[in-house]
Amino acid sequence: MRFDLLTLFPELCRGPLDASILGRARQAGIVEVHIHDMRPFGLGLHRQADDTPYGGGSGMVLRVDVVDRALEAVRRPDSHVILLEASGTPFTQDAARRLAGHAHLVLICGHYEGVDARVRDHLADETVSIGDFVLTGGELPALAVVDAVARLVPGVLGRAESLDEESFSEGLLEYPQYTRPRTWRGHSVPEVLLSGHHARIQEWRRERARERTRSVRPDLLDPGPAGGNERDRTAEGDTP
């Protein structure tokens, strides 16, 4: 699987992609992640990539023609183009699973006051937000999308079965996990986890997952149109 990130600030993206699981997956050739500076596609001597908004207003807007040229340099017939934007659709685990089915994702990182609306309307296949907050740019959200999607690619994680027991895999937050020491400052590991009784352990984990979800993310248990259900999502999304 290949990811191409289009950004005006490539230095914001490089470090996290070289470390830990993503770094190893790239070295092994399981996933490819390429970072492209959009500045060379800008206009004039200073390679201008943004301009003042029509109709007035503060800030600068990323130009559609600059984004278009940068996109054409990496687009393939099988490309799926994503614009990271605060007004985009909330990014969820279900969305990550869906995107993992694409062979090539292109992520456009917005910046400044925003991006010309024609990028969203005519160049991007979808817009994505990682939460209800505003960031200075789309680079951090793009990295979050790459991480969430890449870990679903076969071979990226050492134990693929771990994907079946993590948060949101069944519409619930993950149950609490424990390891050594058995007792720490008077706090002990729940006895059921030491029992060796697998059915009882699974029952305990399921109930703790339900309790945590009810306490922290009750919206995931809400069957209404604005909520989720036990085969549904989480909402985490936003950028500029």
Residues 201-222 have pLDDT tens digits of: 999 999 999 999 999 999 999 7
pLDDT at residue 223 greater than cutoff 90: no
pLDDT at residue 123 greater than cutoff 70: yes
One domain for residues 180 and 144: no
Tell me the chain's radius of gyration from C-alpha atoms: 21
Q: What percent of the chain has pLDDT over 70?
A: 88
Inter-residue contact 237 to 82 (CB < 8 Å): no
Quickly state the pLDDT bin for 155 (edges 50, 70, 90): very high
pLDDT at residue 119 greater than cutoff 70: yes
One domain for residues 209 and 98: no
One domain for residues 187 and 110: no
Q: Domain for residue 165, yes or no?
A: no
pLDDT at residue 103 greater than cutoff 70: yes
Quickly state the pLDDT bin for 158 (edges 50, 70, 90): confident
User: Cα–Cα distance between 213 and 153 in angstroms, integer?
Assistant: 27
What type of residue sits at position 137?
G
Tally the domains of the chain. Answer: 2
Which of the two residues, 138 and 230, has the higher pLDDT score?
138
Domain harbouring 201, CATH code: 1.10.1270.20
No. of H helices and E strands in the chain?
Answer: 7, 10
Which of the two residues, 57 and 167, has the higher pLDDT score?
57
Q: Domain for residue 162, yes or no?
A: no
Q: What angle do CA 90, 92, 215 make, to 5 degrees?
A: 100
One domain for residues 21 and 54: yes
> What's the pLDDT at 30?
97
How many CB atoms are located within 10 Å of the residue 78 CB?
A: 9
Q: Domain for residue 194, yes or no?
A: yes
One domain for residues 131 and 15: yes
Q: Domain for residue 168, yes or no?
A: no
The pLDDT tens digits for 140-150 are 999 999 999 99
Domain with 211 in it: 174-216
Q: Domain for residue 237, yes or no?
A: no
Q: Domain for residue 56, yes or no?
A: yes
One domain for residues 135 and 179: no
Q: Domain for residue 238, yes or no?
A: no
One domain for residues 145 and 32: yes
Q: What angle do CA 67, 31, 4 make, to 5 degrees?
A: 5
Inter-residue contact 128 to 95 (CB < 8 Å): yes
Q: Is the peptide bond before 181 cis (omega within 30 degrees of 0)?
A: yes
> What's the pLDDT at 230?
47
One domain for residues 143 and 194: no
Domain harbouring 76, CATH code: 3.40.1280.10
Nearest one of 17, 69, 60 to 42, comparing CA atoms = 69
> What's the pLDDT at 222?
77
One domain for residues 120 and 184: no
One domain for residues 96 and 198: no
Inter-residue contact 33 to 26 (CB < 8 Å): yes
> What's the pLDDT at 163?
65
One domain for residues 62 and 23: yes
What is the average pLDDT across 9-15?
A: 94
Q: Domain for residue 161, yes or no?
A: no
One domain for residues 55 and 103: yes
pLDDT at residue 239 greater than cutoff 50: no
